[in-house]
């Protein structure tokens, strides 16, 4: 059903776009030129309309692709429900109203899913999903990202409209999926995760990938990671813990001096979903301050400790001027270096965000295997470069 509805949405979107191009709405509503969608019409467009009306519970007949009296009645019912003249044929006004009335459907990206996997599941193509969601880089997906499967993209929420008081007072935060109050004012994860259009650099044929390191800086291991990156001419993004950055400002400064990006991984690495809004903001701000103090630059990205986030955290990150970034692979801790290397390499693809910990000795050994293989096929760039932010 979802598959059919999605194909319909593409057909209808094309239909609507073609119709909008007509200069006279009146003329458009009066017919479709060579292919009027009115009683007697046949084809995939008619079938699409039948499917949609059936999905809305307005059309009870079979999907035949033939515009018969039942279809006409259903169209009329729909038109009445929308306050349109009930002519019983499909012009641009009705097509647009149908498009608007169709409920949007989302898919929330799960760990390990790629756009092509998601597309296959819903019977569409990765390119179609990328277009629908305005993804500049179809491979830059984040776990938890909401992908529109069909319909129109919701208009972005008004910036700064949500006051901190809008978060439920007291009580522990609900998980992201919960029906929290203020549904309409929820930050749209799409807006958080979707990178801006790529710079001309990203249009180059060479494939790019972002290697990221969490939980440092570690006074012993981070320098070794930096040495290896230097050896392989790879750039990476370090999601540092603010407290540790304060203790090792020289290492943080070295990251930037060697062309890497330093990003925010909170100040003390707590489960931020358990904190009050003020506590969340303080964690983000103190970490950004530590980075600013060490590098002279405030970070652009934030990765929640443990990957746990909810709406309030997304909102807090937005308010702090930070973009959320998760990862493509599973970056497990406490596994043997060969397995870590194998798992990391298996997640490598154009636009992937690979996550490792620069606090694990296994990372050093794994990097010795990962870096030569990755750099043979990819340009390893910072997250901001990959997202076209610089």
Catalytic residues: 214, 357
CB of 146 to Zn ion, least distance (A): 23
CB of 362 to Zn ion, least distance (A): 15
* Residues 34-93, interacting with Zn ion (CB under 5 A): none
Backbone phi and psi for residue 379, each to the nearest 5 degrees, phi listed first: -90, 120
In the complex, minimum distance from the CB of residue 285 to Zn ion, in angstroms, rounded to a whole number? 18
Q: Toward Zn ion, which CB reaches closer, 124 or 248?
A: 248
Contacts of Zn ion in 299-328 (CB under 5 A): 305
Q: Which is nearer to Zn ion, 45 or 214 (CB)?
A: 214
Smallest separation (angstroms) from Zn ion to the CB of 306: 6
| From 59, 114, 150, 214, residue interacting with Zn ion (rule: CB under 5 A) | 214
Rounded to the nearest angstrom, the gap between the alpha carbon of residue 3 and the centroid of all alpha carbons in its chain is: 21
Q: Is 215 in the site for Zn ion (CB under 5 A)?
A: yes
| Nearer to Zn ion among residue 234 and residue 355 (C-beta) | 355
Q: What is the C-alpha separation between 14 and 275, in angstroms, rounded?
A: 46
Nearer to Zn ion by Cβ, of 43 and 219: the residue is: 219
Which of these ranges, 246-254, 281-289, 298-306, 361-369, lies near Zn ion under the rule CB under 5 A?
298-306
Closest CA to 238 of 295, 293, 317, 319: 295
Pattern of binders to Zn ion over 132-151, x per CB under 5 A?
Answer: --------------------
Instruction: Give the separation between CA 205 and CA 107, rounded to whole angstroms.
Output: 30
Output the CA–CA distances (angstroms, integers) from residue 171 to 54, 276, 315, in the order listed.
42, 9, 17
**E strand residue ranges, the chain:** 105-108, 146-150, 208-214, 236-240, 261-264, 301-302, 323-324, 353-357, 379-380
SS3 224: helix
Q: Please give the Cα distance from 265 to 209 (Å, whole number).
A: 20
Q: How far is the CB of 307 from Zn ion (least distance, A)?
A: 8
Measured from the CB atom, is 305 or 337 closer to Zn ion? 305
The span of 21-29, 42-50, 297-305, 374-382 binding Zn ion (CB under 5 A) equals 297-305
**Alpha-carbon distance 374 to 209, whole Å?**
9
Classify the phi-psi angles of 65: left when phi > 0, otherwise alpha if psi is within -120 to 50, otherwise beta. Answer: left
Using CB under 5 A as the criterion, which residues of the chain lie in contact with Zn ion when the complex forms? 214-215, 305
């Amino acid at each position: 059903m979802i598959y059919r509805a999605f194909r319909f949405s593409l057909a209808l979107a094309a239909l609507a776009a073609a119709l909008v191009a007509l200069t006279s709405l009146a003329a458009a509503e009066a017919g479709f030129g060579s292919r009027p969608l009115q009683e007697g019409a046949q084809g995939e467009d008619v079938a699409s309309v039948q499917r949609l009306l059936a999905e809305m519970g307005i059309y009870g007949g079979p999907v035949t692709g033939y515009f018969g009296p039942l279809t006409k009645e259903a169209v009329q019912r729909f038109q009445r429900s929308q306050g349109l003249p009930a002519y019983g044929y499909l012009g641009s006004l009705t097509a647009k109203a149908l498009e608007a009335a169709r409920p949007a459907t989302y898919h929330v990206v799960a760990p390990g899913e790629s756009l092509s996997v998601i597309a296959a599941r819903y019977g569409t193509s990765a390119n179609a999903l990328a277009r629908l969601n305005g993804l500049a880089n179809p491979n830059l997906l984040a776990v938890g990202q909401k992908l529109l499967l069909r319909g129109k993209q919701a208009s972005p929420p008004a910036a700064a409209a949500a006051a901190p008081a809008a978060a439920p007072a007291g009580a522990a935060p609900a998980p992201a999926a919960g029906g929290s109050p203020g549904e309409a004012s929820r930050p749209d994860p799409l807006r958080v995760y979707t990178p801006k259009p790529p710079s001309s650099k990203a249009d180059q044929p060479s494939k790019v990938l972002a290697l990221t390191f969490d939980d440092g800086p570690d006074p012993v291991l981070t320098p070794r990671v930096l040495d290896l990156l230097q050896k392989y001419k790879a750039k990476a993004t370090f999601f540092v813990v603010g407290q540790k950055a304060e203790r090792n400002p020289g290492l943080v400064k070295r990251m930037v001096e060697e062309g890497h990006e330093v990003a925010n991984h909170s100040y003390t690495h707590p489960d931020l979903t358990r904190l009050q809004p003020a506590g969340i903001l303080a964690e983000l701000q103190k970490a950004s301050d530590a980075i600013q103090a060490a590098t002279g630059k405030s970070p652009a990205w934030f990765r929640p400790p443990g990957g746990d986030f909810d709406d309030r955290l997304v909102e807090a990150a937005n308010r702090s001027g930070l973009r959320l970034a998760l990862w493509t692979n599973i970056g497990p801790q406490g596994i043997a270096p060969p397995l870590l290397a194998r798992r990391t390499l298996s997640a490598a693809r154009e636009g992937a965000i690979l996550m490792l910990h620069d606090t694990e000795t296994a990372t050093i050994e794994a990097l010795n295997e990962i870096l030569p293989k990755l750099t043979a096929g990819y340009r390893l760039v910072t997250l901001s470069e990959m997202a076209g932010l610089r």
